[in-house]
């Protein structure tokens, strides 16, 4: 990716986040997430470690939903957070919890990793988990 494309993607994400009312979040599609990879946005995969190992968005961190109390306050509040799961249920729950912790920069990947894969974007596989 070129530096200009990275900057444009980052500012597009910031505008999505900034335009949302407090207490709510925006949904984005796989194309917007693809543009965000490498821009400084934090991609949070809230699936189990086993699901994460089967395939995840490049650069994503695996922070399982059931452990949200342990990791929610460790995430940066000054960067966009893009949260996803398989299809959107767990990520919506995670974002609601993040909003209650004062986050105002959370985005939800509509359709989750399924939508990402259906759009033919790359996935990384393996059991090496990345932490925040």
pLDDT of residue 38: 84
DSSP the chain: --HHHHHHHHHHHHHHHHHSPTT--EEE-HHHHHHHTTTTPEEEE-S-HHHHHH-B-TT-EE--GGGHHHHGGGS-SSS-EEEE-SSSHHHHHHHHHHHHTT---EEEETTHHHHHHHTT---B-SS-----
**pTM for the whole structure:** 0.78
Domain annotation covers residue 131: no
Q: Which residues of the chain have pLDDT under 70?
A: 1-24, 127-132
Domain annotation covers residue 124: no
Domain annotation covers residue 129: no
Number of structural domains in the chain? 1
Active site residue 85: yes
Catalytic residue among 85, 94, 98, 115: 85
Domain annotation covers residue 132: no
Domain annotation covers residue 128: no
CATH of the domain at 35: 3.40.250.10
Domain that holds residue 87: 3-118
């Amino acid at each position: 990716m070129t530096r200009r494309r990275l900057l444009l993607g980052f500012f597009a994400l910031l505008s999505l986040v900034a335009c949302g009312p407090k207490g709510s979040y925006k949904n984005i599609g796989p194309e917007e997430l693809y543009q965000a990879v490498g821009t400084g946005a934090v991609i949070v995969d809230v699936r189990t470690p086993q699901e994460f190992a089967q395939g995840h968005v490049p650069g994503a961190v695996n922070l399982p939903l059931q452990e949200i109390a342990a990791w929610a306050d460790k995430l940066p509040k000054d960067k966009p957070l893009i949260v996803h799961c398989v299809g959107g249920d767990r990520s919506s729950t995670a974002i609601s919890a993040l909003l209650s912790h004062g986050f105002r920069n959370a985005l939800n990947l509509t359709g989750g990793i399924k939508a990402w894969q259906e759009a033919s974007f790359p996935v990384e596989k393996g059991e090496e988990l990345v932490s925040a």
